[in-house]
Structure 1
Amino acid sequence: MHTLAAANPHHVVLAGDVLDWANTKTGQVRALVLTVAALMAIIAVLMAWWKTRSFVGTLVAFVLAALVLWGISNLNVLQTKVGSEINDTGAAAASRFHVAGDAPAMAGEGWQVS
């Protein structure tokens, strides 16, 4: 098995070109997703107005569309918040509860509902 460097020692393969291409494509896909989501949000608000002819229904559709668009554009923030809250809650819950060695079993006798 030959690598490119072994085939031609004067040939340099840069991984940076591939990484730049991948980052560019990721940015383009993200922009496309945001554009499509914005168009869908506009269509949803217009459909809400068309079906209900109500200012309140249209306002609710607009607020929900804005929340969805905010969530899509801030996925990194939401992922960090959820991850940190899960870690914090798990550590706090583990330190809050203590089971004594002589406590009765949950499913056995000794438990009384009052």
Structure 2
Amino acid sequence: MSYASTEHVQLAGDIFNWAETLRSNVEGLAVAAAGTLAVVATVMAYWKTKSWAGTLAAAVLGAVLVFAVKNIPQISNMVDSEVPQEDAVSTQMVTGSYGPLDHVVVIPADLR
């Protein structure tokens, strides 16, 4: 007896399309939330300080936050390109014998 039904076949491509659509929606929601947070922080900075310098700083930091959230894949690629891969890094082994030093360095401790 087979439990698999040949009438209702759901392809994996449909699941991948659903997951990609969900990821895209969540990404858009994250950008919208970061933008809202930036606007609220800018308004709150002006409300609390009544200073244009504080307000401008909050606006710039909010813009940086929105930029970072919106460009996460590009920033991740830039970081990955700067960090060398483990197989590309040559490991250097220290060889040689350990022995006493030829000279002793004595520095008096400053206990004041």
- After TM superposition, the score normalised by the length of structure 2 is 0.72
Structure 1 gap segments, 5+ residues each: none
1:68 matched residue in structure 2: 65
Distance 1:113 1:83 in 2: 45
| Aligned equivalents of 1:112, 1:67: Cα separation in 2 | 50
The structural deviation recorded for 1:112 is 4.0
What's the C-alpha RMSD, in Å, of the aligned pairs?
2.9
Give the corresponding residue for 1:48: 45
- How many residues align structurally? 103
- Residue 11 of structure 2 aligns with which residue? 14
Q: Secondary structure at the match of 2:84?
A: helix
Matched residue of 2:36: which SS?
A: helix
Q: CA deviation at 1:2?
A: 4.4
Q: Which runs of 5+ in 2 are unaligned?
A: 108-112
C-alpha deviations, 1:49-105, integer Å up to 9, x for none?
1111111111111111111111111111111111221217x84xx68x88562576x
| Counterparts in 2 of 1:100 and 1:15: CA distance versus 1, 3 Å | closer
Q: Kindly indicate which of the two structures has a greater share of residues assigned to helix.
A: 1
% identical equivalent positions: 34
2:21 pairs with one of 24, 29, 38: 24
- Is the alpha carbon distance of 1:2 and 1:62 closer, same or farther for their aligned partners in structure 2, counting shifts above 3 Å? farther
Q: 1:82 to 1:2 in 2, by over 3 A?
A: farther
Cα distance in 2 for partners of 1:17, 1:49 equals 48
- Is 1:85–2:82 an aligned residue pair? yes
Specify the SS of the correspondent of 1:87.
Answer: coil
In the alignment, the residues of structure 2 paired with residue 47 and residue 84 of structure 1 have an alpha-carbon distance, to the nearest angstrom, of 38
State TM-score, norm by structure 1. 0.71
